[in-house]
Structure 1
Amino acid sequence: MSTTEIFFIALFIIFTFPYLVWRLGSLDYYAPLVVVQIIGGILLGPGILGHAFPDIYSFIFNKQVIQSLNGLAWWGVSCFVMLAGIEMDLRQAWINRRESTITAGFALGTPLLFGCIAALGFLQFPGWLGAEGRPWQFILGVGMACAVTALPILVLLMEKLEILRQPIGQRILRYASLDDIAIWGVLSVVLMDWDRLGKQGAFLAGYAVCAYLIRKLIAWLPPQDRWYILFIWLPLCAFFADWSGLHFMVGSFLAGVVIDHHWFEQKQMDLMRNHVLMVVMPVFFLSTGLRTNWQLGGTVVLLGAAVLLFVSVAGKLIGLRMAGWALKWEKGEASLIGWLLQTKALIEIIFANVLLDKHIITDETFTALLLMAVSSTMLTIPVVNPMLKRLKSVIFKTVKSEPVHASEPLPDFTNKHKKMG
């Protein structure tokens, strides 16, 4: 067969296998389709399919096909990360800045600390630290991976639970948005290359100028032209971020974070996100699964994933309890928010991919992080759904906004989720 024919066989498997498992297995209650697609990527990887049927695996996922799939995956994840940047709700976080800052700080800081302690323990054993990673990069990178909240998946889960447009849903979006900014900021620090410091400084300076100009241009253009400019801006940011020694995903996020959500119709933005998830992101999940590795032994990797899952969930829940105590929340409120914010899949996987690309972590560490991300997301719906039935007052509770004085104008932050109220 030609490479083209095998490529389409691979695409057929990528899109068919997870969907049939998800639909026929009635897994919709536990997770959205994207989570099953991530699991499908792991099952189709070298550790499972490659081990059980090496001839079939090497035939379908040969070098040429993988190169083609990787190109699709890079573009798909770049689009997705850019859209995640656009959809961040910073204006509402500013209006409720005291409550948002305290909650987001505990929600991020506590699991980060727990994750760093776990990473320090991992360093006592060989096989976890990447070939080009320094211990501080590994510790901070794995710690932040334990603190990540997957904002796009969180939106899907809250839509399923019918709380996205309730006050509790809007509050959680604020907390997750602030944490997302911190996550990408820390990732930039982890990737800082002192040998390329001049390039990185030039990129950031050029980005600041270009971001100002692109904002002016998009605001001036008619709505029908804005998407075209957006997808010209995206590869430029991704290229120069990668050129500077950061990573193209950091550039993709920066491409989106300076764009105001209200420049685009909410319906169009939702459709674009859903289409990217449906059309190209399954290829990214497959390419992610192809990078899993069990050379340390399945038991060791599973044990590592269990440790990471424990510290990430426990850290998030303890952090939210501390925030609830400081802000005098109602009983059960902190647990509900904590379980929703511990959702990891997708953004954590993107984060781990960056660490792996830069050889800060090994394939085995990546596999453990991937399993942790999937497990944390699969836990969310079964745990949260019974809570919602008991906490009706919390769902509709609105946190009183902090007063903004006339002499203190609001920053020109992105007006996110405009139609969500």
Structure 2
Amino acid sequence: MAPAELSIYFFAQLAIIIAAARGVGWAARKWLGQPQVVGEMIAGVVLGPSLFGLIFPEIQQALFPKDSRTLLFVLAQLGVGLYMFLVGLQFRSDKFRANVKSAASVSIAGMAAPFLIAMLIAPLLLANGGLFTAGVDQVQATLFMGAAIAITAFPMLARIIHERGLSGTRLGTLSLSAGAIDDAAAWTVLAIVLASLGAGPMVAIKAIVGGGLLALFILFAGPRLLAPLGRIAAREGKVSQSLLGVTLILFAAAALGMDWAGLHAVFGGFLLGTVMPRGVFATEVRRMLEPVTVVLLLPIFFTFSGLNTQMSLLADPSMFLIAGGILVASIAAKGVACWGAARLTGQDNPTAMAIGALMNARGLMELIIINIGLQRGIITPALFSILVLMAIVTTLMASPLFELVYGRKARAEGSLGELGAEQGEEVQSGLNAPCGINPPSLTK
């Protein structure tokens, strides 16, 4: 495809992607009471072969030809990398440390049960023959499925906590801290799987040692090396375009380093965000990057995921049963384990059930993991589609289930704040929630 022709396709695709993301996102807020980002996840699937391509296959293929998807892929990686950078930029290590002991038991249970389920189902999935690629062994399949089931949508969880009036409560802080531990463990496991799939031991060593050293450098040397950026921003009362340029160069370098190591750019983006200066610098960088990331780039990631999602594959009775089994097992493993751990640590039954409901949301984090799995040749489109379904269902059910088991009764008793009535465009991404996250940077 010629560059001029690719440009025509790209702008047509971009218009459709943004329109679908905003439209379905609005419908999700209006009729389902869900955050904007949930609707955008669904919009990505709608634009793919699962719906648009099923009803109008010729039009869908004409709008999204395979030759044009390379550009979408690159922009999708940029979008999800910047998103994870923004998530890291808002991560509050002090809140995390203050609740780490209480959250550890919930988090360990929320990881142990999914990995146990993964150990049980991985041989069955491998025996099916159409879910994992030929080079994946049982250990790798178990680790990947364990990470996929154990993951919690950290930014989505923060948004739900904010909207449900849990900001500053023990329940909200405990859930968010446990979710952070879960995600850190899941990313670590995924890094091990990616390293183990390298072409030879040197590739694995490069990924584990190189990626590990880069992560340690960012975490331990980063705060001191980056502190001058915060001082400049505080002195000037803003982040200049030059300072923003330096920040984006550092983001690209961190993403490049993790990609070079054989892992993924999102690791570099998130780690860099966690060590960036807070205060004026963090607030202004978010203000400048968040709109273009959330409104423009992130919907491209959802659409690229949707183009790889083929729900029609689940029409086969055997695949449908596998999808149902994975969904039920995943929800039960995560929810019941977190509920049980909360009860054992002294929480009452409604609070424990609320923790189980909140921890079950997988959202965008799940999509990131399974996209990496598909790109790196770990899973096939069939298992990818099954796990997309799991991501959407578990995210959709989190808020209503929380209200059912805890929220309504707590509000009636006056022990919980009112639902956030204002759901402005700027805070629907799941990024701008308190309770372990810096306060919202944009308000209407």
Q: CA deviation at 1:348?
A: 0.5
Q: How many residues align?
A: 403
1:199 aligns with 2:206: yes
What is the alpha-carbon root mean square deviation over aligned residues?
2.8
The aligned residue for residue 367 of structure 2 is 349
| Structure 2 equivalent of residue 238 of structure 1 | 255
Separation in 2, partners of 1:182, 1:359: 22
Q: Does 1:380 align with 2:398?
A: yes
Q: 1:208 to 1:265 in 2, by over 3 A?
A: closer
SS of 1:308 mapped into structure 2: helix
> What TM-score, normalized by structure 2, do the two folds share?
0.82
Deviation, structure 1 residue 176? 1.1
Q: Name the TM-score, length of structure 1 as normaliser.
A: 0.86
Give me the identity figure in percent. 26
How far apart, in 1, do the equivalents of 2:116 and 2:287 lie?
34
Supply the distance in 1 between the matched residues of 2:188 and 2:298 (Cα, whole angstroms): 24
CA 71–30 in structure 1, closer or farther in 2 if over 3 Å, else same: same
1:95 to partner: Cα distance: 2.5
1:394, 1:291 → 2: CA distance?
Answer: 46
Whole-Å separation in 1 of the counterparts to 2:28 and 2:155:
24
Moved more, 97-106 or 255-264: 255-264
Q: Deviations 1:355-412 (Å, cap 9, x if unpaired)? A: 1111111111011000100001111122212321213579669xxxxxxxxxxxxxxx
Contact 2:102 2:174 in 1 (8 A): no
Distance change (3 Å), C-alpha of 1:83 and 1:117: farther
- In the other structure, the counterpart of 2:216 is 208
Q: After alignment, is 379-388 or 256-265 more displaced? A: 256-265
Match of 1:10, SS?
helix
- Which residues in structure 2 correspond to 1:270-309 (within 5 Å)? 272-273=289-290, 275-293=292-310, 296-299=313-316, 300-309=318-327
The CA deviation string for residues 147-196 of structure 1, in whole angstroms up to 9 with x for no partner, is: 11001111222222222343322222111111121111111111123341
Of residues 315, 319, 324, the one that matches 2:342 is 324
- Offset at residue 331 of structure 1 (A): 2.3
Measured in 2, the distance between the counterparts of 1:25 and 1:35 equals: 7
Partner of 1:338: 356
Deviation per residue, 1:47-101 (Å, 9 max, x gap): 4333433321221112343222222111101111222233333323322332121
CA distance in 2, matches of 1:41, 1:207: 32
Mapped to 1, the partners of 2:383 and 2:286 lie a distance apart of 34
What are the residue-to-residue correspondences of 1:101-120 with 2, within 5 Å?
Answer: 101-120=104-123
The equivalent of 1:2 in structure 2 is 5
Range moving further from structure 2, 333-342 or 109-118: 109-118
Change (3 A) 1:263 1:181: farther
The SS at the match of 1:41 is helix
- Partner residue, 2:420: none
Cα displacement string for residues 100-121 of structure 1 (whole angstroms, at most 9, x for unaligned residues): 2112111222223223323332
Unaligned runs of 5+ in 1: 398-414
| 1:7/1:181 CA distance change after superposition, 3 Å | same
Task: Give runs of aligned pairs for residues 64-213 of structure 1, distance below 5 A.
Answer: 64-192=67-195, 193=198, 194-200=201-207, 201-209=209-217, 212-213=220-221
> Residues of 1 paired with 2:170 and 2:283: CA distance?
19
